[in-house]
Amino acid sequence: MPDSRGLPVGSFVRLDKPELQAVVDRLGALGYRTMGPRLADGAVVCADLDLIDDMPVGWVDEQEAGKYRLRESDPKTYFDCVAGPTSWKACFFPPCETVLEARQQETGWTIATPQEPVEPLALVGIRACDLQALRVLDRVMLEGPYVDAGYAKRRESLFVVGVNCRRAAPTCFCHSTKSGPALAPGFDLGLTELRDFFVVEIGTERGGDVILAARWTPCSLDDIHTARNLPTKLAEQMQRRGKSATQFVPDQPAGRHLDMHELSRFLLDNLEHPRWEEVARRCLACGNCTLVCPTCFCSSVDEVSDLTGTHTRRERSWSSCFNHEHSYMNSGTVRRTVSARYRQWLVHKLATWQEQFGVGGCVGCGRCIVWCPVGIDLTAEVAAMRGGAT
């Protein structure tokens, strides 16, 4: 049974599924705002979570290019829905944020940066791809020449309850980008869901302390072996099916494949490839792919005044490189065509992002494929340019 010292980092315990509520309760008692997967408007989204029964227990998702549906499943698992339309990015990089305020006083104008209190955040059920996406955003927001103060405050107190994937959507290709399906270090508690219980890996001392609130039992070597093998086998199945699968088969591991071999050099050497024009004839330039992406960080800044003209806010809002005005300069818009804007997005995501930040900009979550209204698939576009099937 647990003692007051906390469980050691790297150890594994067995947790009956209802006991996950004790972990959530403990995080709340420690002052964390707990968020996790929940059902809303026919999708699984990231939202506040107080009760584990509010999670999508007994639901799975069916995803394909331009398609997303939920259906009930049996057995009633907790974490078999994979990436939904929202990512955890919004918790740290809000869709709209006031970055400066100006007020007219009797003595003149005062300008200040809003100092909003930051509530410690605990994320329950974050996947390997989304955890990697936060690492990518860290490189952009924290480790460059400019440090985003708001992002830093929200990020510093994060508690992560991660989940190893045992199921993949047909649009997942995290195995190609080395972002999953197994969790990499960076979690406090790492869950692997088996039929009747969770195998929990202790990732940090904080995690070892929090797990003491639940009634755990020791893991057998078979439990640990099974838990470790699940994401490994899934990656192998995704790799095989990603190269051959042509349709979705319910409850069967699936996935796309993206050939990453010298991809950056290949894209930069093919900026005039005719495929850019071909995809532009289908692309709506709606920006859906950038809005659901867990790493895209383009934004615009606007001044918003009240009706009296004595109070002005400078607001930063999510934007997209697909917007016509995004590349506007004093001489006009640089990327005037849809093909130029699609090329900018794809080449930055898969090539020049690496040059800028030392890490790739794509984590293989597949959201851009699913939520594209016309079903454009970046893995298919790259394969077509490499000479594969169109």
Percent of the chain whose pLDDT exceeds 90:
82
For 332-387, what is each residue's pLDDT tens digit? Answer: 888 999 999 999 999 999 999 999 999 999 999 999 999 999 999 999 999 999 98
84 pLDDT exceeds 60?
A: yes
d(CA 236, CA 13): 26
Residue entry with tokens 């790297």: 10
Q: CA distances (Å), 61 to each of 35, 40, 147, 180, 370, in order? A: 20, 13, 37, 18, 11
In this model, does residue 250 exceed pLDDT 50? no
The least confident of 8-12, 48-52, 334-338 is 334-338
Q: Could you tell me the pTM of the whole model?
A: 0.92
Distance CA 226, CA 230 (A): 6
Q: Output the pLDDT for position 248.
A: 39
Query: What is the average per-residue pLDDT within 318-331?
Result: 91
pLDDT of residue 257: 92
Would you say the C-alpha torsion 286, 292, 296, 298 has a positive or negative sign? Answer: positive
Q: Where are the domains of the chain?
A: 12-385
Q: Using one digit for the tens of pLDDT, what is the confidence trace for 153-204?
A: 999 989 999 999 999 999 999 999 999 999 999 999 999 999 999 999 999 9
* pLDDT value of position 75: 84
**If you average pLDDT over every residue of the chain, what do you get?**
92
List of E strands, 73-154: 96-105, 108-112, 121-126
Measured between alpha carbons, how far is residue 341 from residues 22, 132, 298, 337 in Å? 48, 26, 13, 6
Tell me the mean pLDDT in the region 94-106. Answer: 92
CB 151, CB 92: distance < 8 Å: yes
